[in-house]
Amino acid sequence: MDSNPVRVVEFYSGIGGMHYALKRSGFSFKVIAAIDINTTANQIYAHNFPETQLLQNNIEAISVQQLDKFEADLWTMSPPCQPFTQKGRQLGAEDRRCDSLKELLRKIALMNKPPRHVFVENVVGFETSTVHADLLECLRGMGYGVKEYILSPMQFGIPNTRPRYYCLTSLQSSSSHSTSTILKTHKSCVEEIAGIEDFIEKGVDNSSLILDYQELNRFASSIDAVSSNSRRSACFTKSYGVYKTGCGSYFTSDENMIEENRILSSAIENAKVRLLSPREVANLMCFPEEFTWPHSTTSKQLYRTLGNSVNVLVVAKLIEEILTGFNE
């Protein structure tokens, strides 16, 4: 690959997970534009990347001419996942939140200077949708080589269960580097998984995050609990901190109080079980220490935007692959 910086456009840029993944990949790059409609996410993005052109635009309103003018080498995108989740009723292409992605696919086929690479992330379930079929039909029809994965941070040594669908495409790729099936492992996968303790804040007063006795007594049998020695945690969603169950793990410093990720009924009265802090969730999603947020950002907003973001380490490994032409 040449020495010129990779010109990147981030669609659905969120809080900057893709941008941090680009930094972690080690490639020289320049984000030409980051585009998102979410005000809170944009405030966090701008706080961390003030030099990047941030467009609070409806993606559907961007013209083919504007897309060509970017002269991007790489498009990254993590489109809304709700159309492909159970909570989102799995409406797929019928969900209006798919409209922007469908418009991008229509317009990329009309461009004079389409990007050399396109990188897509979404939830598991996207791969069985008609939108996925349209994505592949469009990009393969334009001559892109396509490689697909379903991967979790656990496979990369991070104690967090977050399986996600990834699509890597490149106009420079030979057909031998494309795949006809979705791969479930990657050359960067490791066997050893770190302990939760490596991601926990030390010496910080998190007393405000502790569940009171009534809450713990009510939900102890259904919440997912981890301790410092745990080698996994549940997937964090945008509803973490709003709903007590099904949105991510809770932490206790006493491993003797949990068994098979559940609080022992005999320990409820004395247990101190808390939410992980936004910083700890960011750590498990591999955001670097330099990632911060405006003082005005609430914990609810942080949990929501983190739950919609990507795992930086996993994406960095895949960006390395896409920018080297899918070489093994």
What is the per-residue pLDDT for 2? 55
52-72, pLDDT tens digit by residue? 999 998 889 999 999 999 999
What is the per-residue pLDDT for 242? 94
Task: Band the pLDDT of 179: cuts 50, 70, 90.
Answer: confident
What is the per-residue pLDDT for 327? 55
Whether 174 and 209 map to the same domain: the answer is no
Domain count, the chain: 2
194: its two tokens: 């770190």
Task: Band the pLDDT of 271: cuts 50, 70, 90.
Answer: confident
| Cβ contact 14:41 at 8 Å | yes
Whether 24 and 136 map to the same domain: the answer is yes
| Three-state SS annotation for the chain | CCCCCEEEEEECCCCCHHHHHHHHHCCCEEEEEEECCCHHHHHHHHHHCCCCCEECCCHHHCCHHHHHHHCCCEEEECCCCHHHCCCCCCCHHHCHHHHHHHHHHHHHCCCCCCCCEEEEEEECCHHHCHHHHHHHHHHHHCCCEEEEEEECHHHHCCCCCCCEEEEEEECCCCHHHCCCCEECCCCCCCCCCCCHHHHCCCCCCCHHHECCHHHHHHHCCCCCEECCCCCCCCCCCCCECCECCCCCCEECCCHHHEECCEECHHHCCCCCCEECCHHHHHHHCCCCCCCCCCCCCCHHHHHHHHHCCCCHHHHHHHHHHHCCCCCC
Whether 200 and 177 map to the same domain: the answer is no
The more confident residue out of 271 and 317 is 317
Q: Has residue 243 got a pLDDT over 60?
A: yes
Q: Has residue 325 got a pLDDT over 90?
A: no
What is the per-residue pLDDT for 86? 55
20-36, pLDDT tens digit by residue? 999 999 999 999 999 99
Task: Band the pLDDT of 97: cuts 50, 70, 90.
Answer: low
Q: What percent of the chain has pLDDT over 70?
A: 92
What is the per-residue pLDDT for 1? 45
Distance, in Å, from the CA atom of 327 to the CA atom of 321, rounded to the nearest integer, reads 7
CATH number where 239 lies: 3.90.120.10
What is the per-residue pLDDT for 99? 86
Candidate list 81, 98, 247, 286, residue with the active-site label = 81
150: its two tokens: 């379903």
What is the per-residue pLDDT for 15? 98
What is the span of the domain harbouring residue 271? 196-305
286 is a catalytic site residue: no
CATH number where 178 lies: 3.40.50.150
Domain-embedded: residue 328: no
Domain-embedded: residue 123: yes
- Which residue, 177, 158, 83, is CA-closest to 122? 83
Whether 160 and 235 map to the same domain: the answer is no
Q: What is the CA radius of gyration of the chain?
A: 20
Whether 185 and 219 map to the same domain: the answer is no
130-149, pLDDT tens digit by residue? 899 999 999 999 999 999 99
Task: Band the pLDDT of 180: cuts 50, 70, 90.
Answer: confident
Which residues does residue 165 pair with via DSSP β-bridges, in sequence order?
122, 150
285-304, pLDDT tens digit by residue? 999 999 999 999 999 999 99
158-178, pLDDT tens digit by residue? 999 999 999 999 997 655 567
250-262, pLDDT tens digit by residue? 999 999 999 999 9
